[in-house]
Amino acid sequence: MRPISRGATSVVTGAAGFLGSHLTDALLARGHKVIGIDNFVTGSVDNIAHLGGNPNFKFIQQDITEFIFLDVPVNYVWHFASPASPVDYLELPIQTLKVGSLGTHKALGLAKNKNARLLLASTSEIYGDPLVHPQTEDYWGNVNSIGPRGCYDEAKRFGEAMAMAYRRQHGVETRIVRIFNTYGPRMRLHDGRVVPAFISQALKQKPLTVFGRGRQTRSFCYVSDLIEGIYRLMMSSCEQPVNIGNPAEMTVLEFAKEIIRATGSRSKIAFKPLPQDDPRQRRPDISRARKLLHWEPKVALAEGLARTIEYFRRKTSA
């Protein structure tokens, strides 16, 4: 299959989510026709409301774990449907496991039926609490399958195995992206991830909640950079998993102080016990993305935070 840009038809599962909606915008801007699928369990109609009336966008409200019937040709399937924050997958563990297994099975079945290429949105969480740093795609991970985060970690690991099985058994063209911490507009205020949590606390002049002593590290990639990397991966010939994220690493405590500075907040920092299985280090090795996709992040943290904080200011004042 040769990559098609303008005129291609793309199916995006989880199209009303944070990443799915940004991906949909990017595909439409590149001339794709997009069929978005979402059941609004964690997605929001607000994220796609601006696409109402767009002749190149069709939306289907459906649970992706059910059979997907489409009577049009499809070139690409972008499987982004899944709860993706600790708050969500701790509240919805069974749904998280089902969308990662049954949902991935249905998405792969659609790709097989349409002779389409499928990209699976996997995650850095498949590395668990890593014993290798930074994390390369060859690392198999250190995951607690029965811990509170296991429902998400193992759902994504199963999804990767299913994608590779479809490629080997049925010849389906698959791509796997392992997404590291990403931030930007359209994140939910209370989804439990560190960026919206810190920004919302800072804007309300409340203490920023830092777990442990804040020495655990994270790296933050702005959403437009991530989407560009994902698009390049789909259009590439790379069949192995690829890390997409920002390798610039900082401690959670340093990040909290950066949020206070960027918002001009008077907030202090409140330390709380470290949650079970909270990763101590999380940083991508993006050598594969640099070599095969000629991709690396471009948006500086200060610039990305300014855009994200402005979005949250509007949301909290609305």
Backbone torsions φ then ψ of 149, nearest 5 degrees: -95, -5
Q: Containing H/E element for 249?
A: strand 249-251
Count of H helices and E strands in the chain? 10, 13
**Bridge partner residues of 135 (DSSP):** 284
* β-bridge pairing 249-251 and 217-219: antiparallel
Which of 189, 193, 191 is closest to 203 using CA atoms?
189
3-state DSSP percent of the chain in helix, strand and coil, to 5: 40, 20, 40
Residue of 152, 166, 222, 231 marked catalytic: 152
Radius of gyration of the chain (CA): 19
* β-bridge pairing 217-219 and 57-61: unpaired
Judge contact between 186 and 14, C-beta under 8 A.
no
Check residue 59 and report its DSSP letter. E
3-class SS at 148? coil
- Angle, to 10 degrees, between the axis of helix 18-29 and the axis of helix 223-234? 60
Return d(Cα 12, Cα 35) in angstroms, integer: 6
Whether residue 152 lies in the annotated active site: yes
Return d(Cα 286, Cα 261) in angstroms, integer: 29
- Positions annotated as catalytic residues are 152
